[in-house]
Structures are given as C-alpha cells and as structure tokens.
Amino acid sequence: MEESNSHNHSHKHVVQGKNLVYSILLNLFITVSQIIGGIASGSLALLSDALHNFSDVLSLGFSLIAHKLSHKKANEDHTFGYKRAELIAAFINASTLIIVAFILIYGAANRFFNPKPIESSIVIWLSILGIVVNGTSVLLLQKDAEHNINMKSAYLHLLTDMMASVAVLVGGLLMKFFGWYWVDGVLTILIGFYLIYVGYDLLKTSTKMLMLFTPDAINLLEIVEEVNKIPGAGNLHHVHVWYLNEEELHLEAHLDCAHDIKISEFDELLHKIENVLYEKFNINHVTIQPEYKKEDPKEIIVQD
C-alpha cells in the first residue's frame, strides 16, 4: 500500500502581526477613557461600548498569540505545527462577540424601563474619540482580514466597536438636544443584536473548519467525476476534504487504478490528478492511496 502527497502553494498575502499590537494599544486607551466617561456621565451605552472595547483588547491579544503560534515550525510532537491556532482564536473571538451581546442586551433591558438623566456632552465627545480610534484600527487590519480568518475575527470586533461608537454618538446628540434618555437603552440593545449578527457567521465558519467539515464551495461528486475522467484513473472513493487552515485545503482518498501499474507510472497519474484538483477546486494538499482490485468499500464517503 502506497501513499503519495502533493504540496502546491500559490503566492500568499503576508499578515502583519504588528498591526494587532497597534490596535491593542489603541483599544486599551479608548477602553479606559470610556469607563471613566461612562461612570461620570451615567451612560449605559458608553459603558457597554467600553465593555465591548475591553473584550476587543482580550480578543486582539489572543489573536496576536495565535498569529505568533501559527508560524512556529512543525516537530515530532506537533507534525502540523500550530497552524490551527488561528482557527481556535477566530472561534473564541466569535463566541465572545455573542456573549458580550447578551450581557449588553440584559443590562439595556433594565435601563430601558428605568431611564436616567445622562451627561450627554461626555457621551458625545467620547463616542467621537471611539470612532476615530476604532476607525484607525479597522484600517490597520482591513487588508489582513481579507486573507485570514483570525484577522477577520479581530477586524469584526473593531468594526462593530466603531459602529457602536457611531450609535452612541447619535444617542448622545438625541439626549442633548431632545432629552430622549430612553435612547441610551435602545441603542445598547441594537448594538447587542448587531454583535450577534456579525458573530454568528464567523462562529459558524470557524466551527466548520475546526470540525473538518467539507468546505461549502466543494462538491465531492464533482471532484470524483473530474478525477474519473483522467485516463488510467479508476474509481475515486473514501474521500475526505478539509481545511487545515485557511491556506491549506487537503484531500485524502483511495483510488482504484485501471491497471496494475508501476510506482513511476502512478506518479505520473498522480501529477495529473494534482493539477486537476488544484486548478478546478483549489485543493493544494493531496494524499492518494492507490489500489488495484482491492476489496474495500467503494462509496465516496466511508465511515472510518
């Protein structure tokens, strides 16, 4: 029984970990400012935004650690290295977004029925500061977020912070000019629901990757059909396709060879299969177990 591997790599975007460090420092500054301002003004929305910012500091720190770990080299004890660390970070960050959201909604529900006078000027100025600081952090991570799920989780935390600060600013203006203090609770609830909305999709994506589910864009039947078209290839079965991380899409399968061929001939066949899988499905790590008249289950999916 022989097993063959391929490793095709395309040019990839290099994620800048230093941008996370800058974002952490900026968020520490705005968190402390909003806590002081929230207590001084009596604004729950401002304190809620501070809580969200503090969760960002923790999430950004975890993302930074995961980013560093993902670049550690593999060894005998960790043959894949720590490449999945960033998936774990994305999962935790998405989870914290949703947890923070429910905390905010619970607190806001109480405040909504018991509105209190709020020093709106403090709310307005600190929300503007929040927009500037979080907006800067968003710009720092925007490009990295397009290429890395860990960075996307950090980016979403910061983007929702910026949106929350915009909402707090609107609320501060309404309280200052119209005396609508009940707006503070309403905005906090809206911020909470928005966090749940953006966190759910990221949580679902990271969970699927951690569970080694077949990627949504992959159709196993199409893969089998394309491989079976290659001369010399028989039935492709016992197929597994999964993401190790965002950059490595793996396929593992058994292949019935049409003839009892030599290893050198199988290498040529494997090269053709690798090209088809990479060009049509972007699969860049292929492991094929060749077989000839072997009696084993021939279904596409076989429970190990």
Same domain? For 245 and 189 the reply is no
pLDDT of 45 reads 67
Let me know if residue 2 belongs to a domain.
Answer: no
Q: Are residues 62 and 40 in the same domain?
A: yes
22 with 169, same domain: the answer is yes
Asked if residue 13 belongs to a domain, the reply is no
What does the pLDDT read at residue 2? 43
Residue 115: predicted pLDDT: 67
User: Given CA atoms 197, 198, 203, 208 in this order, what sign does their dihedral have?
Assistant: positive
pTM of this structure: 0.74
Q: Do 228 and 92 belong together in one domain? A: no
Examine the domain organization and report whether 133 and 183 are in the same domain: yes
Domain harbouring 276, CATH code: 3.30.70.1350
Looking at residue 83, the DSSP 8-state letter turns out to be T
Q: How far apart are CA 249 and CA 211, in angstroms?
A: 14
Q: What helix, strand, coil percent values describe the chain, rounded to 5?
A: 65, 10, 25
Q: Exposed, middle or buried by CB within 10 Å (0-12, 13-18, 19+), for 207?
A: middle
Q: Are residues 163 and 230 in the same domain?
A: no
Looking at the structure of the chain, the number of domains it has is 2
What is the reported pLDDT for 281? 95
Q: Are strands 285-291 and 248-257 parallel, antiparallel or unpaired?
A: parallel
Q: 304 lies in a domain?
A: no
Same domain, 54 and 139: yes
pLDDT at 219: 95
Residue 155 DSSP SS3: helix
Question: Is position 299 within any domain?
Answer: no
Q: Are 220 and 301 in contact (CB under 8 A)?
A: yes
* 6, part of any domain: no
CB-CB contact of 220 with 171 (8 Å): no
Q: Counting beta carbons within 10 angstroms of the beta carbon of residue 303, is it exposed (0 to 12), middle (13 to 18) or buried (19 or more)?
A: exposed
> Where a domain ends, among 157, 188, 210?
210
Q: Residue 257 sits in which domain range? A: 214-291
| Co-location of 221 and 86 in the same domain | no
Asked, for residue 9, whether it belongs to a domain, the answer is: no
Contact yes or no for 196/52 (Cβ under 8 A): no
Residue 79 lies in a domain: yes
Per-position pLDDT tens, the chain of length 304? 344 444 444 445 555 567 888 888 888 888 888 888 888 887 776 777 777 778 778 878 878 888 788 778 888 888 888 888 888 888 988 898 888 888 878 877 877 777 667 778 888 888 898 889 888 888 888 888 887 787 888 888 788 878 878 888 888 888 888 888 777 778 778 878 888 888 898 899 899 999 999 999 999 999 999 999 999 998 999 999 999 888 889 999 999 998 899 999 999 999 999 999 999 999 999 999 999 988 888 888 887 6
Provide the CATH number for the domain around residue 194.
1.20.1510.10
CB atoms under 10 Å from CB of 43, counted, come to 31
Q: Is 271 inside a domain boundary?
A: yes
116 in the same domain as 46: yes
Query: Do 251 and 136 share a structural domain?
Result: no
Let me know whether 225 and 153 are in one domain.
Answer: no
Q: Are residues 256 and 280 located together in one domain of the fold? A: yes
